[in-house]
Amino acid sequence: MTVLLHISDTHFGTEEAPVVEALRRLAHEQKPDALVLSGDITQRARPAQFAAARAFCDSLGIERQLALPGNHDIPLYNVLLRTFKPYDRYCESFGKDLEPVLELGDVLVIGVNTTRPDRHKDGEVSRGQIQRVVDMLQTTRREQLRVVVTHQPACVMRPEDEKDRLHGGERAVQAWAAAGADLVLGGHIHLPYVSDLCAKAGLKDRTMFCVQAGTALSHRVRHGTPNSVNMVRWTPPAPGADRMCVVERWDYDLADDQFELTHTYELKLGE
């Protein structure tokens, strides 16, 4: 089995110290194979915030990691830096590759940078980015779990969140589903949920799930949901068996001062 720890919207600069320690304990107890961090790592893209985020990720004891920038990881008030070097501070702590790929043998994770400095908080996926993902998906094997990671959500559950949905997401869902993607991980709106993207788009031939994470560490919780993270568990199927994936949502419980398993989703995937 391969286990991914999916966290998002840590917003270092607004992190809660007890939640930070609780998530560190969860990582050490569960021992996931890889960490996937889907953006908004910092609150205001300041060097000290990136340094704290980098130190935290290193402290989790997870050897393989994939991170993406979110809109908060681009300087907001430093206009010159935002215009000419929007990702410099991010790159200093999390590497120059803004669209990293992580391959774990039986899991392929493809990062897509959906931030745009000129769009402020809105996200976008271009035709070129869509095709890049399609090209990589077409080389995968049946026993691999195929995961795409964006910051802004590929689908939303509430009408009031429609403004935050990924621009170009409709084209991306159509193309990535046809190419064989299984999961699209995201964050941005601090609302955790799992939804069948194909069903929402009227695609009947297969399934592809949107897996959203809440804010992992910040006091900026929303929608009545606590700090939360996801565990994605994948065991390659035997010949002839269904492709099944388990997604677990872990919420921080203030009274117990720990992350606790609150929702388990057993997802039947397409071929």
pLDDT of 221 reads 94
Q: Which residues of the chain have pLDDT under 50?
A: none
pLDDT of 200 reads 81
User: Distance between CA 252 and CA 259 in Å, rounded?
Assistant: 4
Q: What angle do CA 203, 194, 13 make, to 5 degrees?
A: 130
pTM for this entry: 0.96
CB-based burial, 223-238: b 16+ in 10 Å, e otherwise: eebbbbbbbbbbebee
Q: Are residues 236 and 29 in contact, defined by beta-carbon separation less than 8 angstroms?
A: no
User: Distance between CA 110 and CA 132 in Å, rounded?
Assistant: 10
pLDDT of 198 reads 85
DSSP string, 64-114: EEEEE--GGGS-SS-HHHHHH-TTHHHHHHH-S-SS-EEE-SSEEEEE---
pLDDT of 89 reads 97
Q: What angle do CA 167, 173, 177 make, to 5 degrees?
A: 165
CB-based burial, 145-178: b 16+ in 10 Å, e otherwise: bbbbbbbbbbbbeeeeeeebbbbbbeebbbbbbb
pLDDT tens string 191-231:
999 999 988 877 777 899 999 999 999 999 988 899 999 99
